[in-house]
Amino acid sequence: MNFHEYPADEKRFSRFYFAICSEINKEVTMRVVGLISGGKDSIFNLMQCKAQGHELVALANLYPDDEREEMDSYMYQTVGHVGIELIATALDLPLYRRKTKGVCVQDGSVYTPDQADEVEDLYSLLEEVKVVEKVDAVASGAILSDYQRCRVENVCGRLQLTSLSYLWRRNQTELLQEMIDSGMEAIVIKVAALGLDPEKHLGKSIREIQGHMMKLKESFGVNVCGEGGEYETFTLDCPLFKYRIVVADKRIVTTSGDVGYIVFEKLALESKSPEEMKDLMPRDLSYKSYDYEDLPISEVIQRTQEEFEYPPKTRSSSRNSVRWMWLPQIHGRGSCSKDGAEDAMEALRKMSENLGNFTLRDIIAVNIFVKDMKDFAEINKIYSANFNFPNPPSRACVETNLPEGLWIILDVLVAVTADPSIPKDCIHVQGVSHWAPSNIGPYSQGKLCGDIATISGQIGLIPGSMTLPPDGNFPTECKLSLRNADCVIRALDSHRSLRDVSYAICYLSHSNLIPRAMEQWQTLSSRAIVDYVVVPCLPRNAQIENYLLSK
C-alpha cells in the first residue's frame, strides 16, 4: 500500500489522481410531475418523492389512442386507465394526458429519438407539462427494467429534467412489504403468468396476494412486485390520497391461457375520516437510515446487498480475445482552454486512425487533467460533443499543475474486440434513486469488457438526496463511498463485489484520514492493491473518493 500527499501549494501531476468535478454539496427541492399508470409502483414512488422533500405539482399519463380497455406496450401500463382521473382527484393534482398508439419501433437496450416510437408520445406529454407547470423532475416507478429506465432518462435528458426513480433495483420482496406497511391499498387488475388465475387472483389486494407471490418466486423465480409483467395493479388508497377510490362495478376479461384483466364499469370516491386526514404521510418513507458511523463496513455491504437486486447475467471469460490499449498523456495545447480541449480530442481521433480498429465507442475509461478547474465547463462542452453517444466511458477529472500553454491531458483506456460473445456492459444510470449516486455528466458509473471492469470515482454521497452526510462525519462518508462503489460493481456483474477489486486509489482530503480509510479497506479485501493519495480538494468538498479496477 502506497501513500502520496499533494499539498495545496504543490498540485503535482499524477495519472492516478481521479476526481469528478461537481457543484458544492447541497440538497435540492424540486417541482415534480408524477408519471403514473395507476399502479402501486408509480404511486409508491410519489410517496418516496414526498418523503425526500420534493413538491408534487402535477401528474402525467398516456392511454390508448382508440381508448380500448387494455393495450400491450413495452413502456406503459394501460389497463385501468379509466380510473386515472379519479387518482388525480384523490391526490388533488392537475392531470395531463395524451393518447399513444403504443408502437415500439426500437426495442434495443439503447434508445435514440424516433417519431414513430411510443417514447415520443411521452416526450410530447412531458414537454407540455414542463412549459405549463415549470417542473424540474419526473417521477416514475421503474424497479428493474433497463428498457423503461433508459427511455425515461432519454426523454428527461432532452427536456433537461431530472429523473426520480426511488424504487430502482430495490429488493422486491422487501419493497412489496414496505408498500403494504405504508398503508397503500392496491388491487390486482391484470394477471399474465403461470400460477396466476384470472378467476382467483384478479381483484385481490397486494396484501392478499403477497403470500402466493412468494410461493411463485420460490417455485418459478417470478418477480414478487410483478416487474416482469406477471401482474398489474390499481391503487385505491395511500397516505397521499385525500379520497379513497371505491370499485362499485367491474367485469373480468379473459384473453388466452392465464391472461386476464379487470374492466372498471363504475368507480367512486369516498371521503376519508378526519382522523385519516390528520397526517397524509404518517410514516417515514425516506427508505433507510444512512447513520453508518458505528456499523462495521462488512455489515454495511451485506445489508446493501440484501436491499437491492442484481439479476445474474450470462458471462463468458475471454480476456485473450480483447485487445487492450493504454494511451497516456494525450496533450491539448493552445491559446485557451477551448483550443486545448479541441487539440486533445483531435489528437485522440488521430490515434484511433493511426492505430486502427478502434473508435471512441471502444474507450472504456478517460482520465482528464486540467490546468484550471474554472475552465472545466468550456472543456466539458468539447468533451461532450465528442462522446455524445449512449453509454460513454467512465471518467475522472482533476485540476493539476500543467506548464504554460498546456491546458489538458487525457489518459485513455481502450478495449477492442470483434467477438460478440465477449461480455461488454455499462452502467449509465442518470436517474436519482436509493441505489447509487446518479451520474452527473457525459460519463458512466462503470464499464466492463471481458473480465476487466472500471468504476468511476465514488464519493460518500447519500444516493437518494445526492448529498454528503451532515457535519463532516468521516466514518459514514467513508463507508458510503465504499457502499456506492460496491453497488456499481454488482450491477455490472452480480458475481462481483468489493472483495474482487484488484486495484484501488483512495483519495483523501487530509493525511490524518489515512489510518481510518486503510482500516475499512483491510476489512473488506486482502488482495486489493490500494494507493492512498492525499489531495487538496475532492468533489463537493468530500473527504474521500475511491476509484476501482476489478478483474
Encode pLDDT of 128-172 as tens digits.
999 999 999 999 999 999 989 999 999 999 999 999 999 999 999
Assign domain 31-284 to a CATH class: alpha beta
Write down the pLDDT at residue 291: 66
**pLDDT-derived band of residue 123, with 50, 70 and 90 as boundaries?**
very high
The chain-wide mean pLDDT, for the chain, equals 87
**First-to-last CA distance in the chain?**
19
**pLDDT-derived band of residue 281, with 50, 70 and 90 as boundaries?**
low
Write down the pLDDT at residue 206: 97
CB–CB of 21/397 below 8 Å? yes
Angle at 49 between CA 48 and CA 54, to 5 degrees: 145
pLDDT digits (tens, 9 = 90+) for 298-315: 999 998 999 999 988 765
Q: Are strands 55-64 and 31-35 parallel, antiparallel or unpaired?
A: parallel
CB–CB of 463/308 below 8 Å? no
Write down the pLDDT at residue 13: 24
Closest to 41 measured CA to CA, from 129, 141, 139, 124: 141
pLDDT digits (tens, 9 = 90+) for 348-360: 999 998 887 789 9
**pLDDT-derived band of residue 3, with 50, 70 and 90 as boundaries?**
very low
Write down the pLDDT at residue 278: 64
User: Angle, nearest 10°, between helix axes 297-307 and 474-492?
Assistant: 40
Angle at 174 between CA 171 and CA 175, to 5 degrees: 80
- DSSP helix/strand/coil, 83: helix
Residue 293 CB coordination number (10 Å): 13
pLDDT digits (tens, 9 = 90+) for 85-117: 999 999 999 999 999 888 888 888 888 898 999
Spell out the domain ranges in the chain. 31-284, 322-550
Is the pLDDT confidence value at 33 over 90? yes
- pTM, full prediction: 0.88
Q: Architecture of 322-550 per CATH?
A: 2-Layer Sandwich (3.30)
Distance CA 155, CA 159 (A): 6
Q: Phi-psi bin for 292: left (phi > 0), alpha (psi -120 to 50), beta?
A: alpha
